[in-house]
Structure 1
Amino acid sequence: MNDLLAMLAQRVDDAARNAHAIAQFGEDERLTTSDAYAIQAASIACRLERGECRSGVKMGFTSRAKMVQMGVHDVIWGRLTDKMALEEGAPVSLARYVHPRVEPELAFLLARPLAPNASLVEALDAVAAIAPALEVIDSRYENFKFSLTDVIADNASSSGYVIGPWADPRRDFSNLGLVLSIDGKPRQIGSTAGILGHPLRSLVSAARLAAAAGEPLQAGWIVMAGGATAAEALAPGMHVRCEMQSLGSVEFSTIG
């Protein structure tokens, strides 16, 4: 990695660790997608050096509308660590974030490693359990504005995740209705079909992209399949809940 990318990785890591906004650098630095992923990998490496452990992968741009909005034709991905895991039902302090938002997702727990060229059937066979989940996303860029390379460098905006009750994956979860509510009022209504038409397609993409980066999906890892609806902004004093058809619910509250 050259000095410029290492400097930008340190800038991203500092912004996430200290919860402060930074200026966009995608246009000024003319980063390629490969550059952006190198920055992401290096920034996560800083966390691992501080004692965090890899816990999985998150997927982004898993809706057609988001791909069109960002002018891309493929999903993006980020890395999860154990420190990003938030306790289900517990208060989440927003002081650790810059522009926190939440989106409902489906989470996979892997029973075994997953090959990069896995079929949908092979991917399902590698899944130990599925669960309703909430992801806290947080762009560290000023005014929540960023380019494609900016967001990739910033770990695809992934900042925290809350997992609900794990369930047997041997059920049809291709089109489960879900409701994201804040303070008891529905804010987003959608379906798991909003995740690339079927969440398993997101898992297959995760296997492909992670393996291409030399980090194949491992047993025990969690894969966050991507937002099933648009994200909602968070503020202190909220109660956030996602109810997912046949899988139950996942929730947390927010404090300042």
Structure 2
Amino acid sequence: MKKKLGIMLAVGLCLILFVVSPLFPFVRSLTVMSVYSGMHRQESLMRQEGIRLKIPGGLSTRETDWYPFVMTFNASEPFQRFIQDPGVKLTILYNFPAFSMKKGCSRLFDPASPYYNSFYGAYLVQREDGSAFGFTDGKLDLDQTALVPCFDFWELVLDDFGLPDADKQFDWQITKLTENVSYLGYDGWSRVEADLTVNGAAHRASGFVQSYLQYGTPAYPVSEEFQPVPMKGLVYGRYFDEWNTSIFFYVLATTEELTQKCDEEILSRSVLE
């Protein structure tokens, strides 16, 4: 009896130590997001249109740079409200910076990290009337294209962290546009390089919010919350008639070198068919 009680106490102590350790938020994130992302993938535009789309995650590189796998989120309803168009559907594939095992949260929150505030992935957008979202007369519509990452940052990321609407900033300046690019085995992509100024994710946690389940609770020093930061953006966009869907691959990072590296090592190795 005493032996069993000792084992139970030891197991209980180990569980307590695990829960309060920086490792616990990472394990919790992996568990929650694998299930949640899987549920969203079942209802995604990929499933509805028979699109096979796979983007490598952080496990595909040798560095501790990105989260292990790319997640899926269906954002049709909030995006419809954001652009005031009930006839549009949006599926987002995304990934964010890797966790710090010392801090117990993603480096998304670390202003000193080169991966601060960074994301990569893909947007799939479909209109019920069959028109190509993000394109006008077959050409990339830069203003319309910018609506998706703006919505993503403001409504899906920073809003849950507590960024006031009055302080939201998203400035997008195109530095280079290249048409008819070959990418992932398809011709006809538009490639956009851009300079951005967007709110940073660094903030002080004043309570627990749902987003902390995936990113962890921020634990880095903060001098000023949501301070706008200069970023570099890279986008590949193309409309696919066979799926009635516009697809945009994207990288948002702190430096041009990092956007290029993510493209070469991860995005360009995606499967789309």
| TM-score using structure 2 length | 0.28
Query: So what's the TM-score if we normalise by structure 1?
Result: 0.29
Indicate the structure (1 or 2) with the bigger Cα radius of gyration: 2
